[in-house]
């Protein structure tokens, strides 16, 4: 049962991690009455350290969010609700969002709901995700100290991954039936010093040792693979926002101001870009927050 009269805000930000906190900070500083709803399931919760975000390099990912949240909540015009928003709609009065048994309303929404990673189904891989198995070389490649790196193919787009990683170490490319490089691609890989391993991968052991179908063990310091990304929340689709498609998954279509195809709904962070990281999420969030505020002023 929903309460009859929904609480009204100037804007509701859904998702209170890097992108959402950044959007909310702009709106808070514009003195708007604001609600942030967050389920607390950050994409990088598996990693011990976050790299590549200016001023916070190497810091524990949750600590960055906790500090940003504390600074945001010092603004008296900001309210916070923990929980998963399950439904969002719009009518001629604006938008309403369901959270547990409450309906909350605002004329503007910012979606900062992130994505979920679907990992290749290989025994031992999920347990090592964020520790010795990664997707982003900029985030975790440097710490492998130019050591032994594997790239596990997840589809044709993994060729790109295998061609990049030699800047971070000595690369073995496990094609694992997900792609069959043609002669030109093989030559390109060889020119970059990549060893191609066509045998099937059975499981991961130790730090990142790959066990092949015939029992061969390839000892590695780290393994990279592409995940399939899905929206962490159906809210954008419920609202009728158009999505774009990439080989890695779908994401919310936005313009340069982070406005979605539904007027009044802004989107930022991983949910609204083909590939993201913390710095980009924070930048997108700042843009989405400022754009939502300008929409309040100028339509």
- Binding ligand FAD (rule: CB under 6 A), the pick from 25, 27, 39, 239 is 39
Name which of 39 and 204 has its Cβ closer to ligand FAD.
Answer: 39
- Binding ligand FAD (rule: CB under 6 A), the pick from 150, 181, 264, 276 is 276
**CA dist., res. 132 & res. 140, Å (int):** 9
Name which of 185 and 230 has its Cβ closer to ligand FAD.
Answer: 230
Beta carbons of 146 and 168 less than 8 angstroms apart? yes
Helix (H, G, I), strand (E, B) or coil at 297: helix
Does 139 contact ligand FAD by CB under 6 A?
yes
102: part of which helix (H) or strand (E)?
strand 102-106
Does 197 contact ligand FAD by CB under 6 A?
no
By CB under 6 A, which span of 35-43, 153-161, 166-174, 175-183 interacts with ligand FAD?
Answer: 35-43
- Binding ligand FAD (rule: CB under 6 A), the pick from 10, 38, 197, 211 is 38
- Minimal distance in Å, beta carbon 46 to ligand FAD? 5
- Minimal distance in Å, beta carbon 111 to ligand FAD? 8
Considering only residues 106 through 135, tell me which ones interact with ligand FAD, judged by CB under 6 A: 112-114, 117, 129-130
Q: What are phi and psi of 70, to 5 degrees?
A: -60, -45
- Binding ligand FAD (rule: CB under 6 A), the pick from 43, 69, 128, 258 is 43
By CB under 6 A, which span of 15-23, 68-76, 154-162, 258-266 interacts with ligand FAD?
Answer: 15-23
Does 30 contact ligand FAD by CB under 6 A?
no
Does 36 contact ligand FAD by CB under 6 A?
no
Rounded (10°) CA dihedral 209, 212, 218, 222: -40
Candidates 227, 228, 292; CA nearest to 254 is 292
Q: Which residue is nearest to ligand FAD (CB)?
A: 269
> Do the bridges between strand 209-212 and strand 217-218 make them parallel or antiparallel, or are there none, so unpaired?
antiparallel
- Cα→Cα distances 150→2, 63, 106, 144, 201, Å: 51, 30, 48, 11, 11
Q: Does the CA dihedral 245-246-250-251 come out positive or negative? A: negative
For tokens 């730090």, the residue is 207
**CA dist., res. 261 & res. 249, Å (int):** 18
Residue 22 structure tokens? 């950044």
- Binding ligand FAD (rule: CB under 6 A), the pick from 25, 78, 151, 232 is 232
Does 274 contact ligand FAD by CB under 6 A?
no
By CB under 6 A, which span of 66-74, 240-248, 277-285, 291-299 interacts with ligand FAD?
Answer: 277-285
Residue 11 structure tokens? 């804007």
- Binding ligand FAD (rule: CB under 6 A), the pick from 50, 172, 176, 254 is 50
**CA dist., res. 220 & res. 199, Å (int):** 16
- Minimal distance in Å, beta carbon 185 to ligand FAD? 27
**CA dist., res. 273 & res. 177, Å (int):** 28
**Where on the chain is the footprint of ligand FAD (CB under 6 A)?**
14-20, 37-44, 46-47, 50-53, 84-85, 112-114, 117, 129-130, 136, 139-140, 232-233, 235, 269-271, 276-279, 281
């Amino acid at each position: 049962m929903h309460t009859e009269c929904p609480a009204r805000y100037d804007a509701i930000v859904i998702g209170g991690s890097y992108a959402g906190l950044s959007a909310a900070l702009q709106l808070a500083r514009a003195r708007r009455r604001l609600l942030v709803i967050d389920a607390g399931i950050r994409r990088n919760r598996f990693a011990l350290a976050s790299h590549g975000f200016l001023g916070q390099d190497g810091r524990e990912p949750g600590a960055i969010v906790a500090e940003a949240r504390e600074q945001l909540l010092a603004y008296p015009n900001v309210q916070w609700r923990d929980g998963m928003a399950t439904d969002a709609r719009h009518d001629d009065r604006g938008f309403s969002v369901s959270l547990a048994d409450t309906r909350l309303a605002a004329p503007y929404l910012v979606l900062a709901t992130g994505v979920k990673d679907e990992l290749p189904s290989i025994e031992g891989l999920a347990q090592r995700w964020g520790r010795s198995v990664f997707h982003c070389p900029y985030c975790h490649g440097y710490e492998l100290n130019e050591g032994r790196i594997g790239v596990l193919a997840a589809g044709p787009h993994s060729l790109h991954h295998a061609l990049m990683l030699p800047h971070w170490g000595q690369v073995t490319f496990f094609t694992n039936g997900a792609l069959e490089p043609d002669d030109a691609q093989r030559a390109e890989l060889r020119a970059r010093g990549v060893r191609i391993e066509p045998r099937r991968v059975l499981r991961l052991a130790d730090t990142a040792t790959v066990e092949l179908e015939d029992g061969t063990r390839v000892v590695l310091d780290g393994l990279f693979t592409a995940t399939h990304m899905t929206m962490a929340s159906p809210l954008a689709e419920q609202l009728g926002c158009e999505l774009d498609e990439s080989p890695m998954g779908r994401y919310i279509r936005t313009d340069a101001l982070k406005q979605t195809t539904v007027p009044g709904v802004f989107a930022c962070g991983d949910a609204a870009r083909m590939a993201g990281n913390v710095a980009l999420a924070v930048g997108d969030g700042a843009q989405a927050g400022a754009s939502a505020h300008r929409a309040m002023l100028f339509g």
